[in-house]
């Protein structure tokens, strides 16, 4: 396995979602995660958005009530089109880690933040467990431990890697932005319709 991971991945799924401490192995996981909602929330609002692809079945409602709506950071739930359920969490509690995430300074996360992420990616069983994902994540959070390996893999002086320090790219904010305003357009049309009817 190459120590250098070059493909882009949704950074909020790796560096923010584990902070919810929902644990692994739960029945439903978000299809996508975001930290910005175009024209609704900017990164300064410190919101974390989870989009689940599911109908509002009894099973999903039970899951949502138990794990999401009851979560202390829960802010709102909105049903989007195509059986997508948006759950919004206020991450003001994790202000330091959230700001580090936006800057791509994952090594500067708090100890508790790092532990939550590492525990989330810890293999459930030790027998024949694939630890490659955990190894990548550990390197992202503690880059000084892998600087030599990165320098060798990239065929550059280790000082060059040390100067950059972080070994994982910053989040691509275009990919970390939810672009879906149909819900609010429908609400405006509905309110306009009520207004015209009552006029």
CA atoms within 13 Å, Cβ hemisphere of 52 = 21
Successive 10-residue mean pLDDT values, the chain, 199 residues:
72 97 88 94 96 92 96 94 94 98 98 96 67 90 93 91 93 93 55 44
- Yes or no: say if 56 and 85 are a contact pair by the CB < 8 Å rule: yes
pTM reported for the whole predicted model? 0.86
- Provide the terminal-to-terminal Cα distance of the chain, rounded to the nearest Å: 68
CB neighbourhood size of 192 (10 A) = 10
* pLDDT, position 74: 97
- Yes or no: say if 101 and 16 are a contact pair by the CB < 8 Å rule: yes
* pLDDT, position 102: 98
- Tokens for 30, please give them: 């978000």
Alpha-carbon distance 10 to 32, whole Å? 8
């Amino acid at each position: 396995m190459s120590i250098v991971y070059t493909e882009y991945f949704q950074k909020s799924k790796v560096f923010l979602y584990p902070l919810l401490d929902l644990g692994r192995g739960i029945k439903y996981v978000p299809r996508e995660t975001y930290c910005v909602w175009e024209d609704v929330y900017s990164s300064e609002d410190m919101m974390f958005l989870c989009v689940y692809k599911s109908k509002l079945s009894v099973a999903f409602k039970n899951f949502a009530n138990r794990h999401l709506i009851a979560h202390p950071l829960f802010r709102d739930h909105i049903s989007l089109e195509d059986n997508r359920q948006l759950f919004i969490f206020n991450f003001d509690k994790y202000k330091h880690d959230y700001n580090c995430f936006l800057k791509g300074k994952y090594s500067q996360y708090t100890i508790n933040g790092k532990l939550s992420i590492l525990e989330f990616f810890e293999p459930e069983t030790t027998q024949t467990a694939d630890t490659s994902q955990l190894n990548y994540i550990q390197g992202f959070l503690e880059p000084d431990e892998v600087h030599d390996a990165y320098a060798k893999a990239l065929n550059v002086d280790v000082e060059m890697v040390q100067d950059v320090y972080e070994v994982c790219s910053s989040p691509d904010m275009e990919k970390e932005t939810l672009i879906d305003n149909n819900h609010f357009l429908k609400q405006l049309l509905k309110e306009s319709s009520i207004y015209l009817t009552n006029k």
